[in-house]
Amino acid sequence: MARIDRDELRSMVRQALKETLGAKGDAPAEAAGDLASEIKTALARGKPAMVAVAVRSASDLDHFARSILAAGEDASLRQAILAGDVRFEIAGGAEAKISPKTAAKGGSFHMESGVLGETKIVELARAHSKIVVGSDVVVTPLAREKARQLKVEIARQKP
């Protein structure tokens, strides 16, 4: 699996956002419609609405960023997303790739692949004081900041 440098990934996300925000209305309609309809369907089932998102590559991340920005043009969807009524989760059984070790409070949690975000840090901090991440795990900057606030150590597993 090819690895993407973090700075390159950030640059790609910035470029995607710049292109989308700089050219209002130029976002692909079918991409926006798909995500918008998924969000509306999930909201109809109740709150918080859970929407599964497949992010396995830079292209998937680019597609999601554009779709969420386009879906945000609908005022009711934008308000629901900002209010936390819509929650995004990784599709494709990403939870199955996470293998918890000892469950004692203050123990460590091992994550082999996927994305470690701020929400997951808050959830794990309730029972763990250390999170060990594999080489295929992407740790978001907000996750690192939240971990510092909650006094949770994030350690990268050596290959």
In terms of DSSP H, where are the helices of 83-140?
118-125
| Residue range 34-83, pLDDT digits in tens | 888 888 888 888 878 888 887 777 777 888 888 888 888 888 888 888 88
**pTM tops 0.95, yes or no:** no
Q: Judge whether residue 149 has pLDDT over 90.
A: yes
Question: How many residues can be counted in the chain?
Answer: 159
What is the reported pLDDT for 141?
A: 93
What is the reported pLDDT for 83?
A: 85
| Residues β-bridged to residue 49 | 86
* Mean predicted confidence (pLDDT) in 124-132: 89
What pLDDT band is residue 9 in, cutting at 50, 70 and 90? confident
Q: Calculate the alpha carbon distances from 112 to 79, 97, 98 in Å.
A: 34, 6, 6
Asked if residues 61 and 88 have their Cβ atoms less than 8 Å apart, the reply is no
140 Cβ contact partners less than 8 Å away, ≥ 6 residues apart? 115, 116, 117, 118
